[in-house]
A and B are shown apart, each in its own frame.
Chain A
Amino acid sequence: MSEPLLVVDDLAVEFKTEDGIARALDGVSFEINAGETVAIVGESGSGKSVTALSVLGLLRQPPASIVRGSVRLRGTELLGMSRRKLGEIRGKDAAMVFQDPMTALNPVHRIGKQIAETVRLHSDLGKKEAMARAVDLLGLVGMAQPAARARQYPHEFSGGMRQRAMIAMAIANDPSLLIADEPTTALDVTIQAQVLNLLRTAQQETGAATVLITHDLGVVAEMAERVLVMYAGRIVERADVRSLFRSPRHPYTVGLLESIPRLDSEAQALTPIPGSPPSLLAPPPGCPFAPRCALRKGRSRCVEERPALVSVGDGRATACHFSEELVHV
């Protein structure tokens, strides 16, 4: 098997805050293969976005600092790369779709111009050709009357249309890696499915590997082939999407799945995960999930020894001392 497209190895990121140093990522490792769709799930503050931003070198340092680790895109180390070289990679090899399309477009430029500029960042097309490409891209992302739309300003677009424009910008230069950071969170539910479909189409058109960052397990089930579950700056479970939903191997994943409202279940009430995520300022020595864990049952190993992410077969891995107790039925 050839080298994966993206390799993130033992990535640790800290943020300097007024109250001390917060460890936002603590030894995150994963691989993305060409053309696949991988979802990164987790609640707010689990490190999903920080992971995405560090891959593209977009973390502002300070306050952030990358303590250790490595991010390699097609074997090229991205951490510590010069601004100039990073600029050549961003948008061309790896592009990002941002969470809030309301703020990710510059209000003072026409949509077409913004897309054309992104095209021109990585090609020597003239203004006219770039604009023609921008109109093509708008058509590609399903915009009616793309030529007229290209002349409009962001405030004349709805949220869903803006996200389409963002996706058009992201795929403008045929990236091999597309990172979508909560692409549907800021949208109306009715628009979410359209944008997800569009992301899937975009992926098929460009063949880009897609990293989908979300806290919505519905989106995960819809889109992803593989899933990484993050908690408190660490990956706690890795699995293909089917196995993850069928037989989660980490108590946090179990908790996540139980807290989804379902139409086809008899259960009267949702089961929330008790408590809240640990402070990243002073992480407990043991398993970060231990204080909220239903599986712990008072065992001291959980608070004394930090579980490593270990393979449990079938390409799956989990960071729980007692994960075998979840294997049942």
Chain B
Amino acid sequence: MTESMPADLSPEARPALRSPGRMALRRFLRHKLAIAGVVVLLLVVLVTVFAPLLTAYDPTKVDLSHVRKPPNADHVLGTDGSGRDVFARMLYAGRVSLLVGVFSALLAVGVGTLLGAIAGILGGWVDSVIMRAADIFLSFPVLVVMIVIAGILGPSVTTMVVAIGVFTWPEAGRVVRGVTLSLREREFVQASQAFGARTRWLIVHHVLPTVLNQVVVVATLAVATGILLEASLSFLGLGVQPPQPSWGNMLTDAQRLTVISQMPWLWLPPGIAVAITVLSVNFVGDGLRDALDPREAS
């Protein structure tokens, strides 16, 4: 915080408070791409939440009399191989994709923050064990492991969320541990210990408020990773199972060359949806990073 208060410190005489939060908000609002990202994301969320209002079609309703029809007046984005409305499927698919993205990110960041903070505060062998575990998780090819997990446990949304969360926590863990390590050397943490604070207290009162900024950024970017992993797994048939739609399993159709070359309405919409959503999330993440990093203060 670089703000300086005027000499008159009496609370009544203070000018309107320029709180760190307000300053961060102002920086964020200056970030045009991030604002665009927020707008697009809001749209995506609204559109998926209110999907039933936007389309009359049931995303799982099979209609074998209208198979692989190109976009027309009845079906804005055409129909798929089972005669299901692509537009309806795309809207409902967004729900699953966003849910998987958000929950896997929350899980990853929750686990990562907790383990990172414990590692940083306690240090010693606890730190070694946790960080070696992080290394091990990072050294697995995530996709391959998830294919194995999906194969053993059977593919389901829950399995996918847990698997993505469990394999992406080390990033948050490393960030939080790094901040905690530098925090541990700060005198106010030592002072807190001198007043009787123990590990849990230090984490709740000193570590969490301090790492919150970085964690929010990591979490945002983890949502993007989660959405991409969901799409990849579902594309391979190991994530969300048909007939429930997800952007990933809608793209499964694009595994065939004839579909790619002659039926773009089957794969372009979900592909674009994934790309736009992930891009928006990343823009928001970048904007948050710039806004919340005090060194960016201008």
The answer, among A58, A100, A108, for a CB contact under 8 Å with B194, is A58
A167 to B201, CA, bound (A): 21
Task: Flag if A100 contacts B187 (CB, 8 Å).
Answer: yes
| B140 interface residue (CB < 8 Å to A) | no
Neighbouring A residues of B9 by C-beta, 8 Å: 152, 156-158
A109-B205, A155-B5 given; A166·B191 CB < 8 A: yes
Task: Flag if B196 contacts A145 (CB, 8 Å).
Answer: no
Cβ proximity bits A282-300 to B, threshold 8 Å, 1 near / 0 not: 0000000000000000000
Task: Flag if B191 contacts A108 (CB, 8 Å).
Answer: no
A103-B186, A108-B209, A148-B11 given; A121·B191 CB < 8 A: no
Task: Flag if B196 contacts A156 (CB, 8 Å).
Answer: no
| B244 interface residue (CB < 8 Å to A) | no
A149 to B199, CA, bound (A): 29
Neighbouring B residues of A151 by C-beta, 8 Å: 11
Task: Flag if A88 contacts B186 (CB, 8 Å).
Answer: no
Cβ proximity bits A160-198 to B, threshold 8 Å, 1 near / 0 not: 000000100110100000000000000000000000000
A156 to B187, CA, bound (A): 18
Task: Flag if B188 contacts A105 (CB, 8 Å).
Answer: yes
A152 to B9, CA, bound (A): 10
Cβ proximity bits B164-205 to A, threshold 8 Å, 1 near / 0 not: 000000000000000000000011111111111111010001
| B258 interface residue (CB < 8 Å to A) | no
A98-B190, A106-B188, A106-B206 given; A152·B195 CB < 8 A: no
Task: Flag if B196 contacts A103 (CB, 8 Å).
Answer: no
B203 shortest CB reach to chain A, Å:
13
Neighbouring B residues of A105 by C-beta, 8 Å: 188, 191
| A75 interface residue (CB < 8 Å to B) | no
A249 shortest CB reach to chain B, Å:
34
Task: Flag if A98 contacts B194 (CB, 8 Å).
Answer: yes
A151-B11, A156-B9 given; A91·B209 CB < 8 A: no
Task: Flag if B5 contacts A96 (CB, 8 Å).
Answer: no
A285 shortest CB reach to chain B, Å:
35
A83 to B197, CA, bound (A): 10
Task: Flag if B196 contacts A89 (CB, 8 Å).
Answer: yes
A172 to B196, CA, bound (A): 12
A58 to B10, CA, bound (A): 36
Name the residue of chain A whose CB is nearest to the CB of B20.
A108
A117 to B193, CA, bound (A): 12
Neighbouring A residues of B193 by C-beta, 8 Å: 58, 90
B30 shortest CB reach to chain A, Å:
23
Neighbouring A residues of B206 by C-beta, 8 Å: 106
| A118 interface residue (CB < 8 Å to B) | yes
Task: Flag if A156 contacts B186 (CB, 8 Å).
Answer: no
On chain B, which size bracket covers the interface?
Answer: 20 to 34
Neighbouring B residues of A100 by C-beta, 8 Å: 187
| B144 interface residue (CB < 8 Å to A) | no
Name the residue of chain B whose CB is nearest to the CB of A120.
B201
| A95 interface residue (CB < 8 Å to B) | yes
Neighbouring A residues of B199 by C-beta, 8 Å: 83
Neighbouring B residues of A58 by C-beta, 8 Å: 190, 193-194
Neighbouring B residues of A87 by C-beta, 8 Å: 196-198
Task: Flag if B1 contacts A121 (CB, 8 Å).
Answer: no
Task: Flag if A104 contacts B197 (CB, 8 Å).
Answer: no
Name the residue of chain B whose CB is nearest to the CB of A105.
B188
Neighbouring B residues of A108 by C-beta, 8 Å: 209-210
A58-B194, A87-B196, A121-B196 given; A103·B10 CB < 8 A: no
Neighbouring B residues of A106 by C-beta, 8 Å: 188-189, 192, 205-206, 209
A98 to B189, CA, bound (A): 11
- Which residues of A123-152 have CB atoms within 8 Å of chain B's CB atoms? 145, 148-149, 151-152
Task: Flag if B196 contacts A90 (CB, 8 Å).
Answer: yes
Neighbouring B residues of A145 by C-beta, 8 Å: 10-11
| A306 interface residue (CB < 8 Å to B) | no
A160 shortest CB reach to chain B, Å:
12
Neighbouring A residues of B190 by C-beta, 8 Å: 58, 98, 104
Would you list 25 pairs from A and B whose C-beta atoms are within 8 A, ordered by A residue?
A58-B194, A83-B199, A84-B198, A87-B197, A91-B196, A91-B197, A92-B196, A96-B195, A98-B191, A99-B187, A103-B188, A104-B190, A105-B188, A106-B188, A107-B1, A109-B205, A109-B209, A121-B197, A121-B201, A122-B196, A149-B11, A151-B11, A156-B5, A166-B191, A170-B195
**Which residues of A are in contact with B by a Cβ distance under 8 Å?**
56, 58, 83-84, 87-92, 95-96, 98-100, 103-109, 117-118, 121-122, 145, 148-149, 151-152, 155-158, 166, 169-170, 172
- 6 further A-B contacts with Cβ under 8 Å, apart from A95-B195, A170-B195, are A87-B197, A98-B191, A105-B188, A121-B195, A122-B196, A155-B5
